[in-house]
Amino acid sequence: MNFAGAVDGVPDATIRQVESLPEHLEGAIQFAPHAQALPGALLLDIPGVARFLVRDGVTIDVAIARGASPWDVRIYLHGSVRSALIHQRGEMPLHAASLMPPDAQGAIAICGPSGAGKSTLALELTLRGWKLVADDMTRITVNEGRATAWPTAGSIKLWRDTCDAKGIFTAPLQRVRAGLEKLFVPVAGVCGPVPVTAIVALRLAEAAGLHTLPMPETLALLSENCCRPRQIRPLGRLAEHLAIVARVASACPVAELRGARDAPVEVLADMVAGLVE
């Protein structure tokens, strides 16, 4: 599999496949077992998979290990590596699935921790005619007070039991990685960036319902739902991170959707859909 080309969701950034990359970055901080960074650069070394070098929010160099699974390379490219690139640009990699309702001009981003049910809720909305903007991580930019979500590949990652419960034929679907019962489920998507009209954060506890938040809680919620927050300080982007969080909070309403584990997904989808009625 050839990974060279534009970065998914960041069309003006580039992936380049190279033969080798350095083992260390001079002056970098080792902030995780396989990751080191300094302002302007992050090096991620995943044994048996690949070494990735992210620079200046513009380029990703990848040196793939011999015999590596291309699907494992893809997971890191679209996860930790892409989040670092977005942080370097002073933008927000929101841990969110974003979708556009039928006959609407903007998208709703559904954020929350892993396992909260973002993808299951996203699937339910696509079954109602919503179009996918991005699954799992949404790149959000703000220009002139307007938040924008940037599209990625048109599929949702779903566990096989969720697919079975929704009657999705799984035989032709590709696994996210070998040995994992998680699949790429193709859905209808959008072709270009769209405005963000609201952000909804899934909460696992408490009775189901939508609750708007005061600004201090909104800022904290957006910050905690940014992907890979441990990258921010080593990359020297703390000020930029605080700035983009404040700009997103000012650009669109943010609400909590409580009861994510207890309420049926159909009920949660009704409440999200109510935001655009």
SS3 123: helix
Distance from C-alpha of 131 to C-alpha of 155, rounded to nearest angstrom: 10
> So what's the pLDDT on residue 104?
85
Alpha-carbon distances of 276 from 108, 133, 196, 223, 229, rounded to whole Å:
9, 16, 12, 25, 31
φ, ψ at 199 (rounded to 5°): -125, 130
Dihedral in degrees, nearest 10, Cα atoms 231, 233, 238, 242: 50
Q: 267: part of which helix (H) or strand (E)?
A: helix 265-273
> So what's the pLDDT on residue 25?
95
Q: What is the pTM of this model?
A: 0.94
Domains and CATH numbers, the chain: 5-89 (no CATH), 93-276 (3.40.50)
> So what's the pLDDT on residue 212?
86
- Asked if 249 and 104 touch (Cβ cutoff 8 Å), the reply is no
Would you write out the chain's pLDDT as a tens digit for each of its 277 residues? 788 999 999 999 999 999 999 999 999 999 999 999 999 999 999 999 999 999 999 999 999 999 999 989 999 999 999 999 999 999 999 999 999 999 888 999 999 887 788 999 999 999 999 999 999 899 999 999 999 999 997 899 989 999 998 899 988 998 888 778 889 899 999 989 999 999 999 987 667 788 888 899 999 999 999 999 999 999 999 999 999 999 999 999 999 988 777 788 898 999 999 888 6
- Asked if 28 and 41 touch (Cβ cutoff 8 Å), the reply is yes
Joined tokens for residue 29:
């901080």
> So what's the pLDDT on residue 38?
97
